[in-house]
Amino acid sequence: MTEMSTSRYLRRDVGLVGLLFTSLGSVIGSGWLFGALTASSIAGPAAMLSWLLGGAAVTILALAHAEVGAMFPVAGASARIPHFAFGSLAGFCAGWFAFLGCVTTAPIEVEAALQYATHYIPGLTVEHAHQIVLTGLGYAVAALMMLFFSAINVLGVRWLSKTNIVTMWWKIAIPVVTVIALVFVSFHSGNFTAGGGFMPAGMKGVFSAIATGGVIFGFIGFEQAIQLGAESRNPRRNIPLAVIGSVLIGVVLYLALQFAFIAALDPASLQHGWSALSSSGNTKQFGPFAALATGLGLGWLAFALYTDAFISPTGTGLLYVATSSRLSYAMGRQRYIPAIFGRLNLRGAPVYAIAFSFLCGMIVFLPFPGWQQLVGFVSSATVIAYAMIPLALGALRKTAPDQPRPYRLPCSSVLAPLAFIVANEIILFSAWVVVWKLLVAIAIGFVLLGIALATTPTAQRPKLAWRPVAWMWPYLIGLGLVSYLSSFNIQDTDRIPLLGVEGPTGTLGFGWDIAVMAAFSLGIYYLALQLRLPVLADQTDEHELQEEELERLPV
């Protein structure tokens, strides 16, 4: 028997706590370290509403994931579940969308950890053109960290789960202690109406903070449980509990952190408005919560925060190496990319897929925009992958009505299209400066698919189902067009021309752009349901769900 084989099983070594902490460990990363500052600098005290609305939006998306994830507990489920409903091409699109978000998240988390670590180890990062980038030493340390993540993943999912469980207790404890300490030591109720009132930027600021202020970035990761579904014991019970539980815990924690941050600020720091917070020297050097702790004389808390600023992002980066490798593993199984990525080692780990994620991460580390500048892209790339799941849920309700559903989304005829609308609104809020980059990245994926098909023997090529995914092209074009015509932008310097005209154009005023996106999304949703496959995608011809996986699922 060879060491690498496509017939080896992924091992079901992850229990409920391990699966819950896998999702929660991705939710609690660098988002809590930066999100409160970036959200309040955009929306002011109304950032509380941003977290509440963002949490509600992600909860709706999580409920959709819980149903289909429990129905099909397979590796790289974000790519494979849309495949069941709309065929092979939809599976590739969904997998590529999810891969874009995952493969860029791990290096961003490492970069965040090294930015904080520079306080103790000078020379890891440097400010260049108002951006924090890695130095040569920082790049070497980042490579070692990514190599460590990859090694843990190669050892198998049991090592991954155990490592994550150990770090999770710390990752939960420090934010909770931070909230309690800040509220107890420094509470200024007047901050909630200072600097222009509770909502200085209006509802537009609230919505913008959801996409570009780190709110959605803070919540993304709940789907990790379904990506590792094929490696979970009793997945049909554990997946819904892990997905929904991680979101609810995240919502409570992030709301508490935002409340404590606003209340603990020195009122004098708000004299120039909330937008001036992000350019504060102390905040930029020490990080928002560490700067507060230092200013309040809480040296012990500042030390704990600097320690956590390394542990939390690195723990999340570890998980995202696992997720991105499972997605490329799934696409390898389906022959969208070379089949070697679908091979497992003796421990049941997709070692070639893990190596690919490592290489992609090292490319992302090359002088790249800092944390705040990448939040919108990573969030939008992840959310467009999330949008595929409610579409699949709606289609599978019609295609496979008798498929066992351990968890069934209530009022799915309302909540599934609502979840799809919510996902597209979040992409709209991220602004044209992010959307055009996302569309370019998606186009690169189609180019890679074309190259893979051209270099693969005819007998081994997947059968691309074009008609069931005919809705994808107007969907992507429409996303770009509505964003281009919308009123959402980050800064005037971010205005990007299209065919000689700068965008966003503002042709669709605030409110109208949201309404148009909702109507457009609803139309695409029902078009997709009309074009769905009449039955589940053929599992043999399209290299679909492994039969051995189905046989091993508990009843």
Domain of residue 371, residue span: 16-43+69-175+205-253+276-548
Q: What is the pLDDT of residue 76?
A: 64
Inform me whether the pLDDT recorded for 6 exceeds 50: no
CATH number of residue 441's parent domain: 1.20.1740.10
Q: Name the one residue in this structure whose structure tokens are 């998980």.
A: 319
Residue 285 lies in a domain: yes
Q: How far apart, in Å, do the first and last CA atoms of the chain sit? A: 31
Of 5-9, 155-159, 217-221, 546-550, which range is least confident?
Answer: 546-550
- Between the ranges 37-41, 119-123, 336-340, 350-354, where is the mean pLDDT highest? 37-41
In 3-state terms, what secondary structure has residue 134? strand
Residue 50 lies in a domain: no
Q: What is the pLDDT of residue 545?
A: 40
Q: What is the pLDDT of residue 46?
A: 93
Question: How many domains in the chain?
Answer: 1
User: How sure is the predictor about 233, in pLDDT bands with cuts at 50, 70 and 90?
Assistant: low
Long-range contacts of 481-487 (CB under 8 A, 24+ apart): 482/428, 482/508, 482/513, 482/516, 482/517, 482/520, 483/427, 483/428, 483/431, 483/432, 483/435, 483/436, 484/432, 484/435, 484/436, 485/513, 486/428, 486/431, 486/432, 486/513, 486/517, 487/204, 487/513
User: How sure is the predictor about 27, in pLDDT bands with cuts at 50, 70 and 90?
Assistant: confident
Average pLDDT, the chain: 78
Q: What is the pLDDT of residue 527?
A: 96
Reduced to 3 DSSP states, what percent helix, strand and coil does the chain have, rounded to the nearest 5? 70, 5, 25
Of 262-276, 406-420, 480-494, which range is least confident?
Answer: 480-494
Q: What is the pLDDT of residues 361-409, one digit of tens each?
A: 787 776 555 555 667 777 888 889 889 999 999 999 998 888 888 778 8
Q: What is the pLDDT of residue 405?
A: 82
Residue 427 lies in a domain: yes
- Between the ranges 76-90, 219-233, 369-383, 419-433, where is the mean pLDDT highest? 419-433
Q: What is the pLDDT of residue 91?
A: 83
Residue 184 lies in a domain: no
Residue 258 lies in a domain: no
Q: Rounded to whole angstroms, how far apart are CA atoms 197 and 500?
A: 39
Q: What is the pLDDT of residues 192-213, one digit of tens each?
A: 988 788 888 888 889 888 877 7
Q: Rounded to whole angstroms, how far apart are CA atoms 112 and 110?
A: 5
Residue 430 lies in a domain: yes
DSSP characters for 37-101?
HHHHHHHGGGHHHHHHHHHHHHHHHHHHHHHHHHHS--BTHHHHHHHHHH-HHHHHHHHHHHHHH
Residue 51 lies in a domain: no
Residue 461 lies in a domain: yes
Q: What is the pLDDT of residues 452-504, one digit of tens each?
A: 778 777 777 777 778 899 999 999 999 999 999 988 875 544 445 554 446 67
Q: Rounded to whole angstroms, how far apart are CA atoms 511 and 488?
A: 10
